[in-house]
Amino acid sequence: MNQYLKHDEWCIIEEGFHPEFARASESIFSLGNGAMGQRANFEEKYSGSSLQGSYVAGVYYPDKTRVGWWKNGYPEYFAKVINSTNWIGIDVKIGDDELDLARCEVTDFRRVLNMKEGYLERSFICEMPSGVKVAVNAKRFLSLANSELGAIRYSVKLLTANAKVSLKPYLDADVHNEDSNYGEKFWDEEQRLISPEQGMLVSRTRKLDFYVGHAMRFSVYHNDERISPELKLHDKEKYVASAFSVNVKAGDELVLYKYVAVVSSLNHSKDSFSSVLTALLNTATEKGFDVMLQDQANAWNELWEHSDITIEGDVAAQQGIRFNIFQLSQTYTGKDERLNIGPKGFTGEKYGGSTYWDTEAYCLPFYMITHGQKVARQLLLYRYKQLGKAIENAEKLGFSNGAALYPMVTMNGEECHNEWEITFEEIHRNGAIAFAIYNYVRYTNDYSYLPNFGLEVLIAIARFWAQRVNYSTDKGKYVMLGVTGPNEYENNVNNNWYTNTIACWCMEYAADVAAQVKKSDPEKYAALVQKIGFNEAKELTLWNNIRTNMYYPFDEKLGVYLQQEGYMDKEQILVKDLDPAHRPINQKWSWDRILRSCFIKQADVLQGIYFLEDRFNAETIKRNFDFYEPRTVHESSLSPCVHSVLASKIGNKAKAYEMYLRTARLDLDDYNREVKEGLHITSMAGTWISIVEGFGGMRVRNNALYLSPLIPEQWKGYSFKVWFRDNLLKVTVSHSQVNIQNQDGPAISLSVYEKMVTVSANSTQAVDISA
């Protein structure tokens, strides 16, 4: 772990300059607004280690697949949300010396990510080679109020001597991705313009013809008085800049306000870029930095009003959950159904910024319950609109009759992951797509989604499972061969319990929904049957036959579901007996050694028990948890949250808290030593799940909300908010009471510790925690 950040309830604070953690801090202090994102790179030049990153949502590049051995069915490319124009750049000179923190003596360095109001601020004192000391303060944000705008306030104050201060704000589209498969750059220049009033660059991707436009405008103040210095304009391919110099006395302050507009061809025609960018900059400059910053604070205040979680008595835990909520909220806003949540969001290149099954398995509950039904529905529609591509993906692997295999990794619905053990075998991802539909309808009661969209997806997924199994005459059962479960430290296994279980659940749920829609919306049902050629009698009979005759590996002696056939043939070693020098094993062991070990990357059997919890009694959950958790190395960011929820379920508060803290501070403390590559955005939703579903015990059963809260010993109390249908509820838990406050909506009846209580509108109901 790297614990160099200061604990604070509302801010992430770095005190002291840590070049060894530069890339990690660039990830942790990243900003976004749902439409674009920016790593916490310095505005001024930095010659030290850095991963430059500026990203525009939905704009990607199909980087040609690079593998050693091509296999039929491989995708031809890996989709990447690519590094875009560097818009934050401001070159700084003090006299003849260029400001570069890698080459200066730096003191009083302080960097603060203000999560309450949504801005990044950095300050430091630097002694230049000439001996002049300069104090710098930089504050920036990406606007939530207008998602196509960003703004920077950059202040330079001379401390010890008079000097000429030269500033050069610029736009630079000559950027690259470190993860480019063949070392190529992805952008060509389409248009550039520089004038005293503003600069503009329009770039085009070398494939797919995405166009992105950036424009900048700036103003300069000397000791709070606006000045108009003489400008020197710079204009070359993929680059525009305006440079100026000001003679500054010791004690004086020079401030540059830089406003940037960013648009893409997803939302505007390229022919309109110039006028749209100019209009956006007019809006920004008319408002000014301070008003825009207040708009930003107001927008974040509105978000926190319905998503905040408070924790009393544990600042590290409080900071962790707010950091996770902050990053999730600035990565995805639900305003555009074409967008989704990449595992790294806007914070790094790894995983390409594409969509994984993480969205449905982990992110949907967070957005559904904190941001509302409409946002969650957008996530489901994203998959519905890509159903045709999912069917094509299945066809490439030899499936037919409208069977759908949703991609492991995608930008447009087409599979673009190129590791055979994932692309071809980690097919459990289909189950997460179906479960998300179930989870959404269960929570929102939005039944209309099923006849209009959901049933078509569910049938296509069930068709895939029905073709993916085969009947074993030896076992007298249906089996599923050659798969990879959620535990990616096992490949090409037979009868992974979770995959078999979720496959049968999908066929069962599809059949149930078909019956519901047939009864309630017969016309829509008939139209769908015709559209997809659904042979009701034949297909439903087959699904039922498979479900009732599926093979599930089980150890009678231990009384646990086996992760897959042959799991007990492995040498059974517990994680506690591993030499700490061997951790993490994915960085220290050969892949051969990992595959032969019993160690588990993330919840596998326990993932199925988490999803389908109501089908297992408490004793079964505990027995499987106690067997698998000690063998789990938690080297996936998605692992701790599931274990935290199940530990809460079985009353193991110590383990629940341990797993919560691990997921909450996974990036802040860099548990897996990889935060330099970007944050684990999708797993951050698991932190929220750990509190709300774990400690809060929130479930939906029989069309009602159920709560069974517990509280970690380390906390004095905690609270969370949920939007449940027509109500906004605030749940506050102490060591003695649970208080449910009905902040918005009519009276509501819900279960607390299995006892129904009614909370009137605008009132609070208290329940003894021991009840």
Burial of 225 (0-12, 13-18, 19+ CB in 10 A): exposed
Amino acid letter for position 641: C
Residue 556 annotated among the catalytic residues of the structure = no
HSE-up of 648 (CA within 13 Å, CB side)? 30
Q: Which two tokens stand for residue 694?
A: 């774990």
Q: Which residues of 318-336 are buried (b: 16+ CB within 10 A; e: fewer)?
A: bbbbbbbbbbbbbbbbbeb
Angle at alpha carbon of residue 89, lines to 86 and 93, rounded to 5°? 155
**How many whole angstroms separate alpha carbon 220 and alpha carbon 228?**
7
CB-CB contact of 20 with 2 (8 Å): no
Contact between 90 and 124 (Cβ < 8 Å):
no
Side-chain-side CA neighbours of 69 within 13 Å: the count stands at: 1
Give which of 725, 722, 695 is closest to 711, Cα–Cα: 695
CA 437 – CA 376 distance, rounded (Å): 10
Q: For tokens 């010993």, name the residue.
A: 713
d(CA 753, CA 706): 8
Catalytic residue among 456, 488, 490, 693: 488
CA distance 80 to 412: 11
Q: Is 121 buried (19+), middle (13-18) or exposed (0-12) by CB count in 10 A? A: middle
Q: Which residue has the tokens 């009033």?
A: 197
364 within 8 A of 436, measured Cβ to Cβ: yes
Query: What's the DSSP call for residue 302?
Result: H
Q: How far is CA 652 from CA 643, 647, 683, 694, in A?
A: 10, 5, 22, 11
Q: With contact defined as beta carbons under 8 Å apart, do 171 and 85 qualify? A: yes
How many Å apart are CA 469 and CA 322, to the nearest integer? 43
Q: Residue 47: phi, psi to the nearest 5?
A: -90, 0
Let me know how long the chain is: 771
Pick the closest to residue 518 from 509, 531, 507, 527 (CA basis): 527
Instruction: Write the CB contacts of 281 (distance below 8 Å, at least 6 apart in sequence).
Output: 198, 215, 216, 217, 259, 261
Cα 260 vs. chain centroid, distance in angstroms?
Answer: 25
SS3 152: strand
Q: Where is 27: in which H helix or E strand? A: helix 22-28
- Residues with Cβ < 8 Å from 605, sequence gap 6 or more? 497, 498, 560, 561, 562, 563, 624, 628
Q: How many CB atoms lie within 10 A of CB 538?
A: 9
User: Is the backbone of residue 677 left (phi > 0), alpha (psi -120 to 50) or beta?
Assistant: alpha
The tokens describing 141, both together, are 């944000």
| Residue 64 amino acid letter | K
Asked whether the CA dihedral 550, 553, 556, 562 is positive or negative, the reply is negative
Max Cα distance, the chain (Å): 89
Helix (H) or strand (E) holding 645: helix 639-649
Interstrand relation of 239-248 and 163-172 (parallel, antiparallel or unpaired): antiparallel
The residues assigned a catalytic role are 488
